[in-house]
Amino acid sequence: MSRKTRILILGGGSGGLELAAQLAGRRDIDVTLIDRVTSHLWKPRLHEFAAGTVSSSLAEISFYILGQLRGFRFEQGEVVGIEHAMKAVRLAPMRDERGAVVTPERLLTYDYCVVALGGVTPDFNTTGVAEHAVRLDGQGDAEAFRQRFIRHMIRARSTGVPADIVIIGSGATGTELAAHLRHSERAFFDWSQNAPGDSPKLLNLTILEAAPELMPGAEPALRDKLLERLRALDIKVVTDAKITRIDVQEIRTATGESWPSDITVWAAGLIGNPILARLGAFKLDKKGRILVDTHLRSTTDDAVYVMGDSAACTPEGADAPLPPTAQAASQQAQYLAQALPRVMVNAPVEDFTFRNKGRLVSLAGAGAVGMIGLRRRDDILIHGQFAAAAYDALQRQHQWRVLGPLRGSVAILADLISPTAGPPLKLHGG
């Protein structure tokens, strides 16, 4: 019997995990998924973990358990390099909390490797970002933010002085986080002393945007609706605010203005994961993402494919690489799940094509707004319950692909009828 084809997937995020789940279980493929952490958190909901407005226990899934359920192998470790000539991926030694080596450096060999290591928020060389601002790039950042947020809310409640949270960047991460924090603030009101609606304010929320308008690149109708909702939530939006310096409790702009800030969140843009520059012999674009062809193959090594936020992918006919979204990562996972088995047997493979299904922004208690693309029609603005349902549907589709049709349906049903369905607040520490 011929040996199974070994496919190594680096990174179990929105794209990598969907691909692993879809390729697993085939008789001709051995799938190994590698991630530095033990559980998958669907990144579009990271701001909800940070704000404590987690809306589904299923948002966090153990790679070990899922590997067992779907039939892939999970290897925990930090990817540090690809040895192209050996067709091997290098994982750093794993150490315990005292620095003792648990596992020495590992080399895992492959026939095909898929890089899905995501991206990070760049600081654009702004003074003080690394030291004094929070960037929501992973689970650890969201958890650290949540702990700080809780401490500031407790202090605001006991002193009567509202905490200042300033978010820099008015993209989806910034606007969604602000709305979810406003929702979480309610949990700290003293309901025993005040009638609903009479509680003193505990939180000042400001979004600073360097561009002349909110959410640059968004459709004007969506932007207007968003601004209306943010104003109703008492979230201040300041545009044309170019940040030059961040200090412990202050933010300075190029025009000499300054803003007090107890917690500063830096949510300005996204570039490729810095490891990509040292990973192997790849060509990168100016945002640090690996250049790929229309089959998502790296332009320098036919055995290495790249997807999601790590890839600079310009589909045929497009004039710029796709922006970093879970939507693109998911469509690329579906494409590679079909394409790789064909590549293995030298069958012809079609180009990857992207279908933009729109843009949705979740504003916690204030609902959701978005533009959705309908086939053969202009995009339409949606809001209210329909938009909220559409936003939830994005995650449901992800769960479905990751868990499979049967377990996916059961899990989604259980989630919907759970007594804690709705947006429960996860505001406990630890």
Ligand X SMILES: Cc1cc2nc3c(=O)[nH]c(=O)nc-3n(C[C@H](O)[C@H](O)[C@H](O)COP(=O)(O)OP(=O)(O)OC[C@H]3O[C@@H](n4cnc5c(N)ncnc54)[C@H](O)[C@@H]3O)c2cc1C
User: Which residues of the chain form contacts with ligand X (CB under 6 A)?
Assistant: 11-16, 34-37, 43-44, 46-47, 78-79, 116-118, 136, 138, 172-173, 273, 275, 308-310, 324-327, 329, 360
- The three-class DSSP label of residue 362 is strand
DSSP state of 321: P
Is the Cβ of residue 47 or residue 132 nearer to ligand X in the bound state? 47
Least Å from the CB of residue 222 to ligand X: 13
Least Å from the CB of residue 273 to ligand X: 5
Least Å from the CB of residue 406 to ligand X: 24
Least Å from the CB of residue 308 to ligand X: 2
Least Å from the CB of residue 157 to ligand X: 26
Pair 324, 43: CB distance under 8 Å: no
Residues contacting residue 374 through CB under 8 Å, at least 6 positions apart: 380
CA contacts within 13 A on the Cβ side of 189: 17
Least Å from the CB of residue 47 to ligand X: 4
Pair 66, 402: CB distance under 8 Å: yes
Is the Cβ of residue 11 or residue 67 nearer to ligand X in the bound state? 11
Is the Cβ of residue 44 or residue 162 nearer to ligand X in the bound state? 44
55: tokens are 């809306």
360: tokens are 């949705």
Residues contacting residue 175 through CB under 8 Å, at least 6 positions apart: 207, 214, 215, 226, 230, 361, 363
Cα–Cα nearest to 357, from 391, 320, 309, 384: 391
Is the Cβ of residue 204 or residue 327 nearer to ligand X in the bound state? 327
What DSSP line would sit under 218-273, residue for residue? S-HHHHHHHHHHHHHTTEEEE-S--EEEE-SSEEEETTS-EEE-SEEEE----EE-
Is the Cβ of residue 76 or residue 127 nearer to ligand X in the bound state? 76
Is the Cβ of residue 67 or residue 162 nearer to ligand X in the bound state? 67
Least Å from the CB of residue 124 to ligand X: 17
Which residue number places its CB atom closest to ligand X?
A: 13
Is the Cβ of residue 46 or residue 411 nearer to ligand X in the bound state? 46
Pair 165, 181: CB distance under 8 Å: yes
Rounded Cα distance, 147 and 181, in Å: 13
Is the Cβ of residue 111 or residue 137 nearer to ligand X in the bound state? 137
Residue 8's identity, in one-letter code, is L
Least Å from the CB of residue 1 to ligand X: 32
What's the CA dihedral at 14, 15, 21, 24 to 10 degrees? -160
